[in-house]
A and B are shown apart, each in its own frame.
Chain A
Amino acid sequence: MIEIRIHGRGGQGAVIASKILASAVFSEGQYVQSFPAFGVERRGAPVAAFTRIDAAPILIRNNIYEPDHIMVLDPNLLATGICTDGLKKGGIVLINSENTPDFFKGLDDFRVATVDAGSIAAKHRLGSPSYPIVNTTILGAFAKASGIVSIDAIISCIGDQVPIKPEANAESAKEAFESVILGY
């Protein structure tokens, strides 16, 4: 079983990202589970969303405490330490950042990858220029960084599930797939 945790802020679309990821993986024949951190979500507050992936039906239903990989939509959250909490050694830390992986210190136990999802999303006019919505974009990068899911499945699920500007979201994910920087 693979457990993935997505960190963001209320309003950034972490929950939608976890659902699209789950759908994409499901379309490739795996069992999935996707859920938000069960809490009172407020815009701007740190939030998390989870995706579980397994070849067999998933029995376990509690929260994810020790994820295999994480995605970080707002790099400022890294400083709080909540993102890497419980993350397994060698897990992928995919960060939305204009910096390269070596910019981030203290992540030696993990495989760090970065993608400038903010700029890519802004270029494709997702969200507003001052606050781009990066959730679909970063999934493209995750496909490359993890190899868990194909970029085709991600793009196809974005097309099915994103109600507004699905093409731009898909293009943005594709661009992130191509431009993600792997520090491993």
Chain B
Amino acid sequence: MSEKEKLKNMDPNRNAHEKLSFSGISDLPDIVISTGHMTWNETGTWRYMKPRYRNLVSPCVVGCPNGQDVEAWIRLISEGRYDEALEKNMEESPIPGVCGRACFHPCEKSCNRAQFDRSVSINNLERFLSDHGTRKVPKVAAATAKSVAVVGSGPAGLACAYHLRRMGHAVTIYEAAKEPGGVLRYGIPDYRLPRDMLAEEIDVLKKMGVEIQCGVRVGTDVTWKDMERFDRVFLGTGVHVSRALGISGEDAQGVMSGLNLLKKVASGEDVELGERVLVIGGGNTAIDAARTAMRLDAKVTILYRRSREEMPAHDDEVTAAEAEGVVFQMLAAPSKVVTENNRVRALECVKVKLGQPDESGRRRPIVIEGSNFTVPCDTVVTAVGELADFSFLPDGLKVENGAIVVDDSLKTSNERYFAGGDVVEQPHTIVNALAAGKRAAIGIDCSLRGGSFEEALANITLATGPALSMRQYLAYREHKKIEEKVPVVNEICEYETLNMDYFEQSERVRKAVVGLTERMQTMPASAPNRFKEVELGLTEEQAAKAADRCFHCGRCIECDNCYIFCPDASVMPKTDEFGYAIDDYHCKGCGVCVHECPRNAMEMVRE
């Protein structure tokens, strides 16, 4: 049979490894036609480097002091899987609803998108998942016969209790106030953080079996000796003493601290402020106090000794306060409280100018001599910082520079005591306290089990740290290896490594707020809902849009680019599991897939 006839009878699906050898015109076909497929041509032998899929750590994950796997739950939101998104978030934190509202979201600062147009609205998305996901009570491991007391039910205490309970330890929270939540309950006004929402999140801890004893002050109502029945004690007592102004007349009637004002209002007590309120300070407490005073029918002025730029309060809060009518007197410092019959009448102030930056990086205020002026007022609210109270602590705990001394695992000088949150560290933020609660829980668990904290750290630190992964710790403590869909390299995915050809600029999703008119109408003290929440959550449509803006830095999301661009059909989607399979026999290592990966979830490696 001639080759030409052979060809006619040939299966076009044959592997044409045995090439037809046409001797010449007599047996060549008349048309150019394939004689089989080309899989015999194992171009994989040309390869000197090989592509591989590997995930990196998205910068938001490390930008969050608490190590939230932000990218993971944003992806779940964009897939409409809100319950799973919430569950993912709660692997690292018990209070997504709180954080979605009141966290100062440093994650958004580290968001790679910020270098492209504007960062992804992570904070709003966190609130969205807490509003739209169904809260599931996390799994509690088998009981360990160990017990831990947590003193204080602020974010650090809640986080510590939550994580320890998940590990199977018995946990009792002691809270001096009537209700749990600490600063979340008494330090952040209702219009920013509704109390029922907070209660709902704390309820999850109760359902997990965390015992919460309120109205019990440790050291007074129960003794430190009583604490000895616990294997470990965590101190998350926060900061409650307002820093004094250090000027004359400070003790007069009508001078109160911002913390005190907020606490009283939160406790439902009546507060008499008078008509004109002067708030001193530029931090969040000052803003919260000012906006609260507005809701008590006062005319409020904030006095701050630097300029707006230096204000430590969050910009959004300052803007909202301005919109609501709070007056700002910048570059002025109090010099004397003017009193009459020991009652505040006015505040004498002095103008300042800004000099060279001090160690905090902010410009140092310098008093302008002779620039004194007087502001009449009925109440002076001081909010120039808070200090911890160490007087109630058990004997022998080392305290230095206004903080309890702790090691890396947050263990104090007494190995049975751990401490974290504002009582230990700056900055005083919810997310830092959450991170401390988590770290302490890990430190306590290691010490209870006799494990090495350092070794644990090496296994669960996210990229450059210091954020830790509780998800990884829970697997680590049970000697389990997490089966990741894609192998993870514990490094941050940098902006420069993304392929910007695949992203378009888009507008950042803006969160909705209750309109100012409506707010002003409900603000008078007489209005029943004057502390109504000001910020509104995202709609589903907005959330989808916000989630779609995520680059998914360093994480494969099955976008198919590698599959589409592979010139040798060597990248194929897996049919039964996540991701793609690379055909080693034919991948010639050209690297197009890696080059065209929008999110740096692939790399070339030497074989």
Query: Are A and B interaction partners?
Result: yes
Chain A: residues with CB nearer than 8 A to chain B? 9-10, 42-46, 130-131
Nearest chain-B residue to A76 (Cβ)?
A: B45
Q: How far is the CA of A130 from the CA of B47 in the complex (A)?
A: 13
Interface flags, B563-605, vs A, CB<8A=1, else 0: 0000000000000000000000000111100000000000000
Among A42, A44, A46, the residue within 8 A (CB) of B48 is A44
Nearest chain-A residue to B47 (Cβ)?
A: A44
Closest 9 CB pairs of A and B: A44-B46, A130-B606, A44-B588, A43-B590, A45-B46, A44-B589, A44-B47, A131-B48, A9-B46
Q: How far is the CA of A10 from the CA of B48 in the complex (A)?
A: 11
Among B43, B49, B588, B590, the residue within 8 A (CB) of A131 is B49
12 pairs across A/B with beta carbons < 8 Å?
A9-B46, A42-B46, A42-B588, A42-B590, A44-B46, A44-B48, A45-B43, A45-B46, A46-B46, A130-B49, A131-B49, A131-B606
Contacts of B589 in A (CB 8 A): 43-44
Q: How far is the CA of A40 from the CA of B43 in the complex (A)?
A: 14
Interface size class of B (residues with CB under 8 A): 10 to 19
**What's the least CB distance linking A47 to chain B, in Å?**
10
Q: How far is the CA of A131 from the CA of B590 in the complex (A)?
A: 13
Question: Which of A10, A42, A46 has the largest number of chain B CB atoms within 10 A?
Answer: A42
Among B588, B591, B606, the residue within 8 A (CB) of A45 is B588
Q: How far is the CA of A46 from the CA of B48 in the complex (A)?
A: 12
Q: How far is the CA of A49 from the CA of B588 in the complex (A)?
A: 21
Query: Are the C-beta atoms of A43 and B49 separated by less than 8 Å?
Result: no
Contacts of A10 in B (CB 8 A): 46
**What's the least CB distance linking A75 to chain B, in Å?**
12
Known A9-B46, A45-B43, A131-B606; further 6 A-B contacts with Cβ < 8 A: A43-B588, A44-B43, A44-B589, A44-B590, A45-B588, A131-B48
Contacts of A46 in B (CB 8 A): 46
Q: How far is the CA of A181 from the CA of B436 in the complex (A)?
A: 64
Contacts of A131 in B (CB 8 A): 48-49, 606
Contacts of B591 in A (CB 8 A): 43
Q: How far is the CA of A22 from the CA of B46 in the complex (A)?
A: 28
Nearest chain-A residue to B605 (Cβ)?
A: A130
Q: How far is the CA of A46 from the CA of B41 in the complex (A)?
A: 13
Contacts of A9 in B (CB 8 A): 46, 48
Q: How far is the CA of A32 from the CA of B48 in the complex (A)?
A: 33
**What's the least CB distance linking B38 to chain A, in Å?**
13
Q: How far is the CA of A9 from the CA of B47 in the complex (A)?
A: 10
Q: How far is the CA of A42 from the CA of B588 in the complex (A)?
A: 9
**What's the least CB distance linking B588 to chain A, in Å?**
5
**What's the least CB distance linking A72 to chain B, in Å?**
15
Nearest chain-B residue to A43 (Cβ)?
A: B590
Contacts of A130 in B (CB 8 A): 49, 606
Nearest chain-B residue to A45 (Cβ)?
A: B46
**What's the least CB distance linking A23 to chain B, in Å?**
28
Question: Which of B46, B47, B589, B591 has the largest number of chain A CB atoms within 10 A?
Answer: B46
Q: Which of B31-83 contact A (CB under 8 A)?
A: 43, 46-49
Contacts of B47 in A (CB 8 A): 44
Nearest chain-A residue to B48 (Cβ)?
A: A131
Question: Which of A9, A43, A130 has the largest number of chain B CB atoms within 10 A?
Answer: A43
Q: How far is the CA of A57 from the CA of B48 in the complex (A)?
A: 40
Nearest chain-A residue to B604 (Cβ)?
A: A130
**What's the least CB distance linking A3 to chain B, in Å?**
26
